[in-house]
Every structure is written in C-alpha cells, then in structure tokens.
C-alpha cells in the first residue's frame, strides 16, 4: 500500500483491478468501505439471505445485486464480475480455481451479496492509536474457521469464521468500544482471549490469510469475518458460487462514515 493507493478513488481502484492489477486491497481508497463478495444461484439466494439475517455479525449485508445485475449503488458504473482483484470459484462447494476476471464463470442466474468488511473499522482503530499487527507486518489479517456453527437457513449452514488481532490488555476495551460502533462491518468482537474456546488449536496456522506475531502479554481478539459465507458455501455445496479471494475486496462507493452508529 502506498499513499497513492490510499488516495485512489473507488472507481479508479475498480478500474485498475478490472484492467488486471492483482493486489490485496487493505489501505486502498481511504475512507471508503470495502466489501466481501459471495454470489450464488438465484435458487439459493433466499437461503443465503436468511443465513445472513440470522448471522448478522459475520454476514452484515451491505447490498445485493439481483440476478443479471452487475452494477449498483455500491459500485456505480462498475462490474462485479471484473472489478475485484481476485476471485475464488466454487463448484459443488469445492474451490476449483482463482481468477482475476470472473466473467467466464458468471451466469445471469447469480445473485451477488456484498458483505461488510472489517477494513472499515480498522481505520477507526488506527485513528485511535491502536496499532494492528497485520498492518505493521504488511500481511493479510489471519482468519480461522471456528468450531462454532452459525445458525443455519434452508440448505445453507457452516461454521463461524473469525479474524484475529492481538492487542495489549490496556487496549482491548477501547477496541471493543470503537468497533461496536460499526455493526454493519462485524461490530464488536465475538470472543476475547483463549483461542481454544473457539476450537482454534494453533494461532500460527490460520485457515485464511497470514499468521502474525503475538507479543508476550497480548490478548488475541476475535471478530466475526466476512469469509464466513465462503465457508458456508464449502459446507453447503451449491452447484456454483463465486467469492473474492480473501483480502482482495471490492472497493465500494460507500463511505466508512456512513457505517458508524451514534
């Protein structure tokens, strides 16, 4: 991430990714919300929407593009099939490939869910002087599949996926307070401390993203993660699904400031 990228407008960022640039999007287009993608066939869309409604912490829906729609208020003049740096394609729940352009896999039957991303509250944490290890170490945030099942809906079920940020004990309360003001981007942590309580055996082996170092005395703090619907797709096995590659998000036209609750 360079200052240039943080100043890039969402439309310009999307254009660069459409033109083929592949990079994690952390730090791009400062002040604008980024979104997770999960697209499923229309026949599965109600079940997934209900899954999101029942699991609002991991699956806060920012908007939905109906079948055959490729742009919308969150990506004006955009194209959801091309404007994300990298996509994961799932067939019958199995990830079959990663691609920078999902057009050849996309069908007019797919409904695309845009789900809030914790990058929005990370800016607020940094502004409050809370340093984030994965940003210090310039890697993707570590994410873990937990043993906690989400509330299922129709044919969709799956485990809660969490992201983890280690914090010094004196900053945990502030981090809770700050992130709880962002309910549409995962909100307050779901778990503070003891990874075993979530069924996570080894923090150094995340299921998605990269490991980060944890200093003596630091507490691992876990937030619900927008990769949860991709874990649900893997468990529930719809015939086709398209997600973003973790860390490679859609940059939206929505301002982070619109996501804060008073």
- Report the alpha-carbon distance of residue 212 to residue 135 in Å, rounded: 10
Does the footprint of a copy of itself cover residue 135 (CB under 8 A)? no
To the nearest whole angstrom, how small is the minimum distance from the Cβ of residue 136 to a copy of itself? Answer: 30
To the nearest whole angstrom, how small is the minimum distance from the Cβ of residue 162 to a copy of itself? Answer: 22
Tell me which of 1, 30, 50, 260 binds a copy of itself, using CB under 8 A: 50
Contact 223, 186 (CB under 8 A): yes
Does the footprint of a copy of itself cover residue 154 (CB under 8 A)? yes
Nearer to a copy of itself, 67 or 91 (CB): 67
To the nearest whole angstrom, how small is the minimum distance from the Cβ of residue 13 to a copy of itself? Answer: 25
Contact 181, 259 (CB under 8 A): no
Where residue 6 falls (left for φ over 0; alpha for ψ -120 to 50; beta otherwise) is alpha
Does the footprint of a copy of itself cover residue 72 (CB under 8 A)? no
CB atoms within 10 A of CB 85: 24
Contact 256, 123 (CB under 8 A): yes
Altogether, the residues listed in the chain come to a count of: 262
User: Which runs of consecutive H residues, i.e. helices, occur in 39-86?
Assistant: 42-54
Contact 67, 42 (CB under 8 A): yes
Q: What is the DSSP letter of 155?
A: T
* E strand or H helix that includes residue 144: strand 143-149
Does the footprint of a copy of itself cover residue 107 (CB under 8 A)? no
Nearer to a copy of itself, 52 or 84 (CB): 52
Tell me which of 45, 167, 224, 249 binds a copy of itself, using CB under 8 A: 45
Tell me which of 74, 153, 164, 240 binds a copy of itself, using CB under 8 A: 153
Tell me which of 6, 128, 180, 213 binds a copy of itself, using CB under 8 A: 180
Stretch that binds a copy of itself, among 16-24, 38-46, 115-123, 138-146 (CB under 8 A): 38-46
The binding track of 188-227 with respect to a copy of itself, each residue x by CB under 8 A or -, is: ----------------------------------------
Select from 121, 123, 89 the least CA-distant residue to 103.
Answer: 89
- Report the alpha-carbon distance of residue 259 to residue 122 in Å, rounded: 13
Phi and psi angles of residue 197, each rounded to the nearest 5 degrees, phi first: -65, -20
Tell me which of 9, 46, 77, 147 binds a copy of itself, using CB under 8 A: 46
- Report the alpha-carbon distance of residue 22 to residue 17 in Å, rounded: 6
Q: Tell me whether strands 61-65 and 219-224 are parallel, antiparallel or unpaired.
A: unpaired
To the nearest whole angstrom, how small is the minimum distance from the Cβ of residue 7 to a copy of itself? Answer: 31
To the nearest whole angstrom, how small is the minimum distance from the Cβ of residue 131 to a copy of itself? Answer: 26
Does the footprint of a copy of itself cover residue 49 (CB under 8 A)? yes
Does the footprint of a copy of itself cover residue 53 (CB under 8 A)? yes
Q: Contact positions toward a copy of itself, by CB under 8 A?
A: 42, 45-46, 49-50, 53-54, 61, 63-64, 66, 111, 153-154, 180, 183, 261-262
């Amino acid at each position: 991430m360079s200052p240039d990228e943080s100043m890039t407008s969402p439309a310009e960022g999307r254009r660069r990714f459409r033109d083929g640039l592949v990079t994690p999007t952390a730090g791009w287009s400062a002040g604008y919300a980024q979104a997770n993608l999960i697209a499923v066939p229309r026949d599965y869309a109600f079940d997934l929407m209900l899954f999101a409604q029942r699991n609002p912490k991991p699956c806060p829906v920012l908007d939905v593009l109906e079948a055959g729609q490729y742009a919308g208020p969150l990506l004006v003049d955009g194209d959801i099939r091309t404007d994300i740096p990298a996509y994961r394609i799932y067939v019958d729940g199995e990830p079959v490939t990663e691609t920078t352009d999902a057009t050849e896999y996309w069908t007019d039957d797919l409904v695309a869910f845009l789900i809030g991303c914790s990058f929005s509250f990370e800016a607020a944490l940094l502004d409050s002087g809370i340093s984030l290890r994965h940003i210090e170490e310039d890697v993707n945030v570590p994410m873990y599949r937990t043993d906690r099942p989400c509330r299922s809906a129709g044919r969709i079920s799956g485990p809660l996926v969490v992201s983890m940020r280690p914090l010094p004990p004196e900053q945990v309360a502030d981090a809770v307070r700050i992130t709880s003001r962002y309910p549409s981007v995962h909100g307050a942590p779901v778990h503070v401390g003891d990874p075993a309580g979530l069924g996570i055996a080894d923090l150094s082996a995340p299921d998605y993203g990269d490991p980060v170092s944890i200093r003596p005395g630091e507490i691992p703090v876990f937030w619900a993660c927008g990769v949860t619907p991709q874990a649900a797709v893997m468990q529930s096995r719809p015939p086709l699904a398209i997600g973003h590659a973790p860390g490679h998000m859609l940059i939206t036209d929505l301002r982070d400031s619109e996501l804060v609750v008073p």
